[in-house]
């Protein structure tokens, strides 16, 4: 007897059958509202648009869209047609996006008019720089002749259901995460791994039927995409904000009766001063999930004093999000902890020889569960190094206390988390070393009151006249703005191990005292 096939695209169809009139999605920026029946029909139409272009099972569809309803239409339409979604980071520059398009082999790009400039650069490339994109589908009126109006295509497509295509182990999406070598790697999540991600989350956190979940993070982050899929699965309403606005966020909480949301610590910091006590009685907000970097206990207490619980999570793109979770009470009694493993998730902490360590002993944290990725796209060697005997090697150093609570101590891969965005030093260092006046460089994360961490460039001059302004300006246009160093300092030599590895812990300790940053903002 053949087993039942899990297809995440069918989640929306089933929810539309069960609760057709329930509000599914509010695109607050666009002023659009959809019931589950209406959203399901839009997904059917989107599936017909994509298959009408000749796409079939396993073909890739790249998406360069803001947090908007079209992303949901493409995602569920592609899923039920057996296609693979490739969410792209709209903060990246053309070179970075071109690599991902070539690496994924995406032949369709659905993009928003807001990103016309960078997409035009991609379209104009030829020769070895050419991308495989053959169909450019644009959201927005009055586009270039080479782009087709996506919304018009969807409006004109037939609304009848399409046949669900694929198997549990088929890829559902490829989400790129930069590697320590500077080359991004595409984490492949299947329909099965996402299904188990949902089961893991819903067994571990308080998400309810008819909840109203605000998403203001970009959907190229698994931290936003996983809750979106979870809302459809659970029967909760998704409310989308195209951009996080701390001045409006509390009004949206009130007007849309938001019950829960996700906010990185930097967002929590920005939200707190804009809170108005008179709003409290008109809010439905129960709790806030936070992650990407540790939430200071003082911030947890500040929100608790206002009557809002902050739950912290630890996870990775490669784990589809789940790793560890901790509630506000435990967070106050176990300050600095990321909690314990999610439901359906196993955690180990091992030493360099692979042996599990005891309480109080630091080691690498490993995650096991059906929700971890299938591997890296086209990177079998990297996959073999990262997933060993079913365990995901995170590259993060952690310690477990006597009560079983996990504390993340450091990142083996030296990743910097700035305002919730991952910055990989090797990528920034490569850009800086193309400057003829720089002889050597190491990039480290230092504390930032605004962003949690910010990149600092520690530079050895080749040209004695090189100044900080020139170093910072050199990265402009080469990297997304959130990756740009906010400061540069000069040293005679980078401290290194006998094997030549930069001693970044030494540099972080030396330069960890916050100093005025250059006036660069995340866009």
Give yes or no for residue 436 having a pLDDT over 80: yes
Has residue 182 been placed in a domain?
yes
Same domain for 145 and 294?
yes
Largest CA distance in the chain: 75
Mean pLDDT within 487-504 = 79
pLDDT value, residue 39: 99
Gyration radius (Cα) of the chain, Å: 23
CA gap 163, 160 in Å, rounded: 10
pLDDT the model gives residue 518 = 53
Asked if residue 288 and residue 424 are part of one domain, the reply reads no
Tell me: pLDDT of 231 over 70.
yes
Q: What percent of the chain has pLDDT over 90?
A: 73
pLDDT for position 180: 44
Using left for φ > 0, alpha for ψ between -120 and 50, and beta otherwise, residue 140 falls in left
Q: Which of 313, 345, 360 is the last residue of a domain?
A: 313
pLDDT number for residue 498: 46
- Higher per-residue pLDDT: 267 or 297: 267
Give CA–CA dist 267/450, Å, rounded: 9
Decide if 330 contacts 337 (C-beta within 8 A): yes
Quick one: average pLDDT of 209-221?
A: 96
Tell me the pLDDT band of 522, cut-offs 50, 70 and 90.
low
Residues 355-383 as b or e (16 or more Cβ within 10 Å = b): eebeeeeebbbbbbbbbbbbbbbebeebb
- In terms of domains, do 292 and 178 share one? yes
Query: In terms of domains, do 302 and 421 share one?
Result: no
Q: Do 51 and 77 contact (CB within 8 A), yes or no? A: no
Other Cβ atoms within 10 Å of 122 Cβ, number? 22
**pLDDT band, residue 346 (cuts 50/70/90):** very high
**By the 8 A CB rule, do 314 and 366 touch?**
no
Give the mean model confidence (pLDDT) for residues 43-64: 98
User: Can you name the residues that pair with 461 across neighbouring β-strands?
Assistant: 438
pLDDT interval class at 334 (50, 70, 90): confident
In the numeric block, the tokens 């990756």 are attached to 483
The average confidence (pLDDT) of the chain is 91
Check residue 333 and give its pLDDT. 86
User: Is 489 within a domain?
Assistant: yes
> 313, 330, 363 — which closes off a domain?
313
CB 417 within 8 A of CB 445: yes
Q: What is the structure's pLDDT at 520?
A: 53
In a domain, 384, yes or no: no
Residue 499 confidence class, pLDDT cut points 50, 70, 90: very low
Residue range 389-399: mean pLDDT, rounded: 93
How far is the C-alpha of 194 from the C-alpha of 311, rounded, in Å?
A: 21
Give me the pLDDT at residue 297, please.
Answer: 78
pLDDT greater than 80 at residue 2: no
- In Å, what is the CA distance from 460 to each residue of 258, 435, 508, 515? 50, 12, 16, 20
518 inside domain: no
Q: Residue 363 falls within a domain, yes or no?
A: no
Q: Is residue 32 part of a domain?
A: yes
Residue 194 has pLDDT above 60, yes or no: yes
**Domain, as residue range, for 302:** 9-313
The total of structural domains in the chain comes to 2
Q: Which two tokens stand for residue 324?
A: 């560890």
User: Which pLDDT value is given to residue 514?
Assistant: 56
What's the full length of the chain, in residues? 523
pLDDT value at residue 40: 98
- Can you give the CATH number for the domain in which 487 is found? 3.30.300.30
Tens digits of residue pLDDT in 64-111? 999 999 999 999 999 999 999 999 999 899 999 999 999 999 999 999
Which of 265, 295, 313 represents a domain boundary (last residue)?
A: 313
**134 or 462, higher pLDDT:** 134
pLDDT at position 486 is: 93
Residue 27 has what DSSP assignment?
Answer: E
Residue 409 within any structural domain of the chain: no
Q: Are residues 195 and 68 in the same domain?
A: yes
Q: Is residue 76 part of a domain?
A: yes
For residues 380-402, give the mean pLDDT.
Answer: 94
- Residue 182: predicted pLDDT: 57
Tell me the average pLDDT across 137-143: 94
pTM given for the model: 0.84
- CATH number at 66 reads 3.40.50.12780
């Amino acid at each position: 007897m053949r087993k039942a096939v899990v297809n995440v695209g069918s989640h929306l169809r089933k929810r539309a059958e069960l609760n057709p009139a329930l509000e599914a999605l509010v695109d607050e920026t666009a002023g659009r509202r959809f019931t589950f029946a209406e959203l399901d029909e839009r997904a059917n139409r989107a599936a017909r648009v994509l298959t009408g272009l000749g796409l079939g099972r396993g073909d890739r569809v790249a998406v360069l869209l803001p947090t908007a309803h079209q992303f949901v239409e493409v995602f569920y339409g592609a899923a039920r047609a057996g296609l693979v979604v490739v969410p792209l980071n709209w903060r990246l520059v053309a070179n970075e996006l071109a690599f991902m398009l070539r690496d994924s082999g995406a032949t369709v790009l659905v993009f928003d008019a807001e990103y016309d400039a960078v997409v035009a650069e991609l379209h104009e490339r030829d020769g070895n720089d050419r991308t495989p994109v053959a169909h450019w589908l644009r959201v927005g009126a009055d586009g270039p002749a080479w782009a087709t109006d996506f919304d018009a295509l969807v409006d004109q497509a037939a609304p009848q259901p399409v046949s669900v295509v694929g198997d549990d182990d088929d890829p559902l999406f490829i989400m790129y995460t930069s590697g320590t070598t500077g080359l991004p790697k595409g984490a492949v999540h299947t329909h099965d791994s996402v299904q188990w991600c949902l089961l893991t989350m819903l067994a571990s956190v308080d998400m309810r039927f008819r909840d109203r979940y605000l998403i203001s993070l970009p959907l190229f982050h698994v931290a936003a995409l996983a809750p979106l899929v979870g809302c459809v699965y659970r029967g909760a309403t998704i409310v989308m904000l195209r951009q996080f606005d701390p001045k409006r966020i509390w009004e949206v909480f009130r007007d849309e009766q938001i019950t829960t949301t996700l906010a990185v610590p930097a967002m929590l910091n920005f939200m707190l001063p804009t809170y108005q006590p008179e709003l409290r009685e008109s809010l439905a907000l129960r709790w806030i999930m936070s992650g990407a970097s540790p939430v200071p206990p003082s911030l947890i207490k500040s929100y608790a004093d206002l009557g809002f619980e902050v739950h912290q999570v630890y996870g990775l793109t490669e784990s589809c999000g789940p790793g560890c979770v901790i509630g506000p009470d435990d967070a106050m009694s176990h300050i600095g902890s990321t909690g314990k493993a999610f439901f359906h998730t196993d955690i180990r902490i091992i030493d360099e020889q692979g042996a599990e360590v005891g309480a109080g002993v630091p080691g690498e944290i490993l995650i096991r569960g059906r929700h971890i990725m299938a591997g890296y796209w086209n990177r079998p060697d990297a996959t073999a190094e990262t997933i060993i005997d079913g365990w995901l090697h995170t590259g993060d150093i952690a310690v477990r206390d006597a009560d079983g609570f996990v504390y993340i101590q450091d990142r083996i891969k030296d990743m910097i988390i700035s305002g919730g965005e991952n910055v990989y030093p090797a990528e920034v260092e490569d850009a800086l070393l193309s400057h003829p006046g720089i002889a050597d460089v190491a990039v480290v994360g230092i504390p930032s009151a605004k962003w949690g961490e910010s990149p600092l460039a520690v530079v050895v001059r080749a040209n004695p006249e090189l100044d900080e302004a020139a170093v910072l300006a050199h990265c402009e246009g080469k990297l997304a703005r959130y990756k740009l160093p906010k400061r540069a300092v000069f040293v005679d030599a980078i401290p290194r191990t006998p094997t030549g590895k930069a001693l970044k812990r030494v540099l972080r300790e030396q330069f960890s005292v916050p100093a005025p940053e250059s006036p660069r903002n995340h866009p």
